[in-house]
Amino acid sequence: MSTILVIEDNANIRIEVSDFFRQNGYETICPQTFENVEMLADKAQAVLLDINLGNADGFHICRKIRKSSDVPVLFVTGRNSEEDELRAMALGGDDYIRKPYSLPVLLAKVKRMIERSSGNSPDELKAGDVSLNVALSRLKFGDKTLELPKNENKILYYLFLNKGRTVSKSELIEYLWDNRLYVDENILNVNLSRLRKHLADLGLTNFILTVPKGGYRINSNY
């Protein structure tokens, strides 16, 4: 069982995130003060790190973590400038997500970080007889294969990760482009339309189902 170190000064957010990850099979460490908090990193498989921490600074904490640990670090912040994102990556951050965020998207990012770090990232995901090779951006059904553009690969990857449940439009937009505030929904519709045309070439006409007022889900009946 993986352990997540949650470094967040807002108690409500800290509790919400901790409860969500525990419900999904993770352990959490949630310090309420941040002096020497980097020493807890060796007990975790991933770190969720806010930037603004009252009297502490997430950038400084990340720098201290990186002196002794390669644990994956996901910056979680209300800031939205590119400069902050670039600085987070330069200091050794592995990913970056802006508030407000979707908890399922946060979970997906953490799963991906842990898989990459452990070397256990699956080469293929399956839904019925359809398989997706994420690394090669390749979808296979029967004796046919399809090479996928980047965004279409990401859309299918997220839907495969969440097969069995409906993924909302806003959740999918956030996963694809990190900040749903600056992306027109039409961009998602265009990408989905192209993807569905490609899927139809494989005989997967109804592989992505639209749920009225809900979003999208994978059809595993193939």
Domains and CATH numbers, the chain: 3-118 (3.40.50.2300), 124-218 (1.10.10.10)
The better pLDDT of the pair 184, 211 is held by: 211
pLDDT tens profile 162-172? 888 899 988 88
Read off the pLDDT band of 187 (50, 70, 90): confident
Look at the block and give the residue holding tokens 């992306």.
183
Task: State residue 14's pLDDT score.
Answer: 95
Task: State residue 5's pLDDT score.
Answer: 97
Task: State residue 178's pLDDT score.
Answer: 62
Task: State residue 41's pLDDT score.
Answer: 94
pLDDT tens profile 110-141? 988 898 887 665 668 888 899 999 888 899 99
Structure tokens at 64: 């201290």
pLDDT tens profile 188-212? 889 999 999 999 999 999 999 999 8
How far apart CA 146 and CA 66 sit, in angstroms, is 40
Is the predicted pLDDT of residue 174 greater than 90, yes or no? Answer: no
94-122: average pLDDT: 84
17-27: average pLDDT: 95
Task: State residue 179's pLDDT score.
Answer: 54
Phi-psi label, residue 146: left if phi above 0, alpha if psi -120 to 50, beta otherwise: beta
What are the backbone angles phi and psi of residue 3, rounded to the nearest 5°? -115, 135
Structure tokens at 13: 């957010």
Single-letter amino acid code for the residue at 97: I
57-95 per-residue burial string, b: 16 or more CB within 10 A, e: under 16 = ebbebbeebbeebebbbbbbbebeeeebbeebeebbbbb
The better pLDDT of the pair 30, 115 is held by: 30
100-114: average pLDDT: 89
Look at the block and give the residue holding tokens 């569905």.
196
93-111: average pLDDT: 89
How far apart CA 73 and CA 64 sit, in angstroms, is 12
